[in-house]
Amino acid sequence: MKKITRIIVFLLSAVILLTTGLIPASAQEATTTVNKKLILGTSAEFAPYEFHKRIDGKDQIVGFDISIAKEIAKDMGAELIIEDMGFDSLLSALQSGRVDMVISGMTPTEERRQSIDFSDNYYMARQVMIVRAEDKDKFLTMKDFENEKISVQKGSIQEEIGQTIQGAQLTALDKIPDVVLQLQTKRVNAIIVEDTVAEGYIDSETVIADASPADSESYAAIGIKKGKVELQAAINDTLARLKSEGAIDQMVKDASILAAKVESGNILTTAWEYRNYYIKGIGFTLLLSALGVLFGFIIGLFIAILRMTNIRIVKWLGTAYVEVLRGTPMLVQLMIIHYGVALTLGVNFSPLQSGIITLSINSSAYLAEIFRAGIQGVDRGQMEAARSLGMNRITAMRHIVLPQAFKAVLPAIGNEFITIIKESSIISVIGMADIMYQAGVVKNITYQGLSPFIIAAAIYFVLTFTLSKLLNALERKLSASDNR
């Protein structure tokens, strides 16, 4: 028992060291180090504002928003650190102190001003309706869009505009490339985007409609956590300087030219050219899954024992733990751990740490039931025989009952591991660079809507198929003695 305890302590220590080393410190920790670091939150799929681009063989987040952020950091004498995440996660990240500022083409609406502060406006864009070229003559006025299927970015000013169109059937998605894909695959008949962004997606098949929303001009500003007056003043000073120099207009032109340089190719060349992206994603996915199942295994076994005790309150706590975690979506659990804990307790977990904790507690609820079924499946006479030989209950459980239960539930544990590998893709929404995150990066770089995800699907299949075969081999080895 002592040996097992030492192993568990060692693994926990290794995870803490590993996770704190792989991911940059939180915004709160970074900014307290003599203000030498400035954490930027952005959603890098909004070309030419911010987007991924492979430059000199390395993935970089570029765009005129990023250029502005670099100027702000330079004027402050700080190092700029970029945190890429979903657009609808930006406000939570800012409010929780995970990032210092948000630059993502964000419109300073009155609703948003209730929760965060904004800098002075630094850019003005116009909202446009994009339709398929074959439908251009069908949409001549905004009234023509009534009762039509329209896609927008979730949590954006475009979603608010879409809600004002009578009868419009809105599909709100997190990323602009996914919104465009809705139009290309004929799932919707129009999308609403900014004119600056639209330039990167206009081709022979998609065009800007003649009709445009009333009062379609919108401004972009930088989001700042409420009360950060000094940071707000420093940002406004830099924006005033850039405007007086005419630098922002030049940044927009440069970013638009860079965004227009699209890398293309078939699925095989894409897989080979961006293999390093996927290899990195595989590493994080396996790390998340392995640690999630490992700690889920330990926690699940403990919860299973709690559920089998005769102490009513302890049994009730174990049951409540299982039912709550099995009855709520993993995505909700992830948001509570990553943002909720930061907002309420001031503890900022890195994306990797949040991912491991979420996968661990989620899988532990299912593994607890698997273990409980396995332990209860062992004949009671086994425990009675062990006790009659002088073993105490803990020793008998460790040496007699648990080995038999483990062998019986091994297939179910293997299935849970396979499930966790696939469900770990959810962690990408908070910026964890797993396989799905990397597939999204490749999609944004190449503007290929499907190929990057087919590659990701193939990788997931290879991982789960290989694991399945290894587990089958282990199961055959453990059951070899049953045939003697």
**Segment 5-26, tens digit of pLDDT:** 454 444 445 444 444 444 443 3
What does the pLDDT read at residue 483?
54
Q: Which numeric CATH code is attached to 125-217?
A: 3.40.190.10
pLDDT digits over 119-154, tens only? 999 999 899 999 999 999 999 999 999 999 999 998
**24-122+221-261 matches 269-483 in fold:** no
Compute the Cα dihedral for 70, 72, 77, 78 and give only its sign: negative
Identify which of 124, 126, 127, 128 has the alpha carbon closest to the alpha carbon of residue 249. Answer: 124
Give percent of the chain with pLDDT exceeding 90: 52
Is the predicted pLDDT of residue 378 greater than 70, yes or no? Answer: yes
Q: Which CATH superfamily is domain 269-483 in?
A: MetI-like (1.10.3720.10)
* Mean pLDDT value across the chain: 86
The answer to whether 129 and 212 are in contact (CB under 8 A) is: yes
The pLDDT of 104-117, averaged and rounded, is 92
Is the predicted pLDDT of residue 262 greater than 80, yes or no? Answer: no
Give percent of the chain with pLDDT exceeding 70: 90
Is the predicted pLDDT of residue 435 greater than 90, yes or no? Answer: yes
DSSP code string of 105-174: S----HHHHTT-EE----EEEEEEEEEEGGGGGG-SSGGGGTT-EEEEETTSHHHHHHHTSTT-EEEEES
What does the pLDDT read at residue 382?
77
The pLDDT of 465-481, averaged and rounded, is 81
pLDDT digits over 273-289, tens only? 889 999 999 999 999 99
Q: CA 338 to CA 438: how far, in whole Å?
A: 20
Query: With bands split at pLDDT 50, 70 and 90, how would you rate the model's confidence at 54?
Result: confident
Q: What secondary structure, in 3-state letters, does 11-72 show?
A: HHHHHHHHHHHHCCCCHHHHHCCCCCEEEEEECCEECCCEEEEEECCEEEEECHHHHHHHHH
pLDDT digits over 385-402, tens only? 877 878 887 788 888 888
Is the predicted pLDDT of residue 34 greater than 50, yes or no? Answer: no
What does the pLDDT read at residue 19?
45
Q: Which numeric CATH code is attached to 24-122+221-261?
A: 3.40.190.10
Is the predicted pLDDT of residue 30 greater than 50, yes or no? Answer: no
What does the pLDDT read at residue 104?
93
- Sheet strands side by side (includes 58-62): 45-46, 50-55, 58-62
Query: With bands split at pLDDT 50, 70 and 90, how would you rate the model's confidence at 259?
Result: confident
What does the pLDDT read at residue 325?
95
CB atoms within 10 A of CB 177: 19
Distances (CA, A) of 63 to 44, 121, 122, 177, 260: 9, 17, 14, 16, 12
What does the pLDDT read at residue 9?
47
Task: Report which of residues 408 and 29 the model is more confident about.
Answer: 408
The pLDDT of 362-379, averaged and rounded, is 90
Provide the pairing of β-strand 149-153 with 169-173: parallel
Nearest-10 crossing angle of helices 64-76, 247-260: 130
Least confident piece of the model among 8-22, 149-163, 243-257, 463-477: 8-22
pLDDT digits over 200-226, tens only? 788 888 999 999 898 778 899 999 999
What are the structural domain ranges in the chain? 24-122+221-261, 125-217, 269-483
Task: Report which of residues 416 and 14 the model is more confident about.
Answer: 416
Query: With bands split at pLDDT 50, 70 and 90, how would you rate the model's confidence at 445?
Result: confident
Is the predicted pLDDT of residue 188 greater than 80, yes or no? Answer: yes
